[in-house]
Amino acid sequence: MITTGIGFLAFIVAFTALVLYLAKRFPLKLYKFFPPILIIYVGTMLFFTFGMWTITDEVKAVKTALVDNMVPAMVFLMCLSCNVKKILKLGPKLLLTFCAATITICIGFVASFAIFGGALGHPADAFGAVCASWVGGIQNFLAVKNSLAVDDGIMSNIILMININYSFWIMILVAIGNFAGRFNKWAKADVSGIESIAKTLDGPAAEKKPFDHLNILVVLGVSLVAVYVCRLLAGAMPDIGFINASVWEYIFISIAGLALGLTKMSDLPGSEEVSNVMLMLVMTLLATEINILQIADAWLFIIAGAVVLIVHTLLMLPLAKLFHLDLHSCGVASIANIGGPSSAPIVAATYGKSYVSISVLMGTLGCVIGTFVGLGVAQILHVF
C-alpha cells in the first residue's frame, strides 16, 4: 500500500506511461470506442478501490499541487494553438451551423437537468463542466471543473456519462451520412460551396518543427509564468456573482493563450506534446480517490446525457430546414462540439475529404468558447 507522496507520484506516472505505450505498441480497434485515456481512468479507479494507495496528507498535497497548477498551464498551451484568424475563414453559413449545434446542446443540458437534476442531487456545476466538454473538449471540462470546484466524488459518473454517450453518438453520426441526399433535398441545402471553402482552409501543410530539451523547458517556463501572472491578476479582481478568483484565473489564462496564439508563439515547438502529457496525468490524478464500488447513479447520468443529445437532434432538424443546412455540415458541427478537434475528423472523413479541414477548425472554435459556455450554463442550471 502506497502512503508517501513520491510513491504515489511514481505509480501514477508509470501506470499512465505503460497504458499509453501499450496502446501505441499494439494498436487495436477497441481504442476507437474505449480510448486509452478512459482505460487509464477506469484502471486508476480500480487500483484505488482495491487499496493500492491511501490518501494521506502527503499524498493529498502532491495531488492538489499537481492538479491546481497543471490544469491552467495545460489550458494555456491548448489555447495557444488555437488560430482565431483561420477560424473566421469558415464563412457565415458554417459558423451558423456550428453555433446552432452549440446552442442546441446547451438547451439540451438545461432540459436534461430540469428532468434529472433533482434525482441526481442538483449537480449544476458538474453539468456545466460536461457542457464545456461537449462544446470544446477535455481541457474546457477541466477548466470549468477546477474553477467551480466540482467534487471529485461525482467524477466517475460524469466520465461515464461523457464517454458512453460520445461512443454511441459517433457511431450514429457516421451511420446517418448515407441519408445526406434525402436530407439535403428536404432541407433545400446547397453543398456546392463546401469544397471551395475546404480548399481555402487547407493551403500548404505546415511542417512540424523538431524540438529538444530546451524547447520543453521554454514551454514549461512560458506556461508556468502565464499561470503565475494570471493567478496574481485573478487574486486582485473583485468577486462578481459566481466569478470568483478561481473563475477569473481561467478567464485570464484562456484570454492570454488566445492572444499569444495570434503571434509567433502559436508555433512554440513542443507545446502540443507538453500539454498532452499534462492532460494524461491530470486525468489519471482525478480518478485517484474514486471507489468504483460506490458508483450507484451512473446509469441515470448516462440517460441524462442521452437526453441532451436527443434534444440537440430534435432542435437541429427545424434549424436545418429554416437555414437550409446540409446533413454533413450538421453532423460535423455536432461532433466538433461533442468530440472536439481530435474526434471531428473521424466523422468528417466518412462524409468526404472536403469536410475534414472544416471539422478541425470547428473543433478548434469549440475549444475557444467551451470554458465560457460551460461556466454560463452552470449558472443557468443553478436556477433549477
Element (H, E) at 105: helix 92-116
Domain range for 170 is 73-203+210-273+295-381
pLDDT, tens digit (0-9, with 9 covering 90-100), for 233-259: 999 998 886 677 887 888 888 888 888
3-state SS record for 302-349: HHHHHHHHHHHHHHHHHHHHHHCCCHHHHHHHHHHHHCCCCCHHHHHH
State how far the Cα of 164 lies from the Cα of 348, in Å rounded to an integer.
20
Q: What percent of the chain has pLDDT over 90?
A: 35
State how far the Cα of 275 lies from the Cα of 211, in Å rounded to an integer.
14
Kindly state whether residue 287 falls inside one of the protein's structural domains. Answer: no
**Whose grid coordinates read 511514481?**
10
How would you class 302 by CB atoms within 10 Å of its CB: exposed for 0-12, middle for 13-18, buried for 19 or more? middle
Kindly state whether residue 91 falls inside one of the protein's structural domains. Answer: yes
Kindly state whether residue 16 falls inside one of the protein's structural domains. Answer: no
Kindly state whether residue 286 falls inside one of the protein's structural domains. Answer: no
Kindly state whether residue 21 falls inside one of the protein's structural domains. Answer: no
**Mean pLDDT value across residues 46-56:** 90
State how far the Cα of 161 lies from the Cα of 163, in Å rounded to an integer.
6
Kindly state whether residue 35 falls inside one of the protein's structural domains. Answer: no
Kindly state whether residue 46 falls inside one of the protein's structural domains. Answer: no
State how far the Cα of 371 lies from the Cα of 382, in Å rounded to an integer.
17
What cell does 211 get?
A: 524540438
186 — pLDDT class (breaks 50, 70, 90): very high
Q: How many domains does the chain have?
A: 1
End-to-end, the C-alpha distance of the chain in Å comes to 43
State how far the Cα of 45 lies from the Cα of 290, in Å rounded to an integer.
6
**Mean pLDDT value across residues 265-283:** 85
Q: What is the pTM of this model?
A: 0.74
What cell does 107 get?
A: 438547451
Number of H helices, E strands in the chain: 17, 0
Higher pLDDT pick, 202 / 168? 168
What's the distance, CA 206 to chain centroid?
25
CB of 271 closer than 8 Å to CB of 219 = yes
Q: What confidence score (pLDDT) does residue 102 get?
A: 95
Question: Maximum Cα–Cα distance for the chain, whole Å?
Answer: 64
Kindly state whether residue 186 falls inside one of the protein's structural domains. Answer: yes
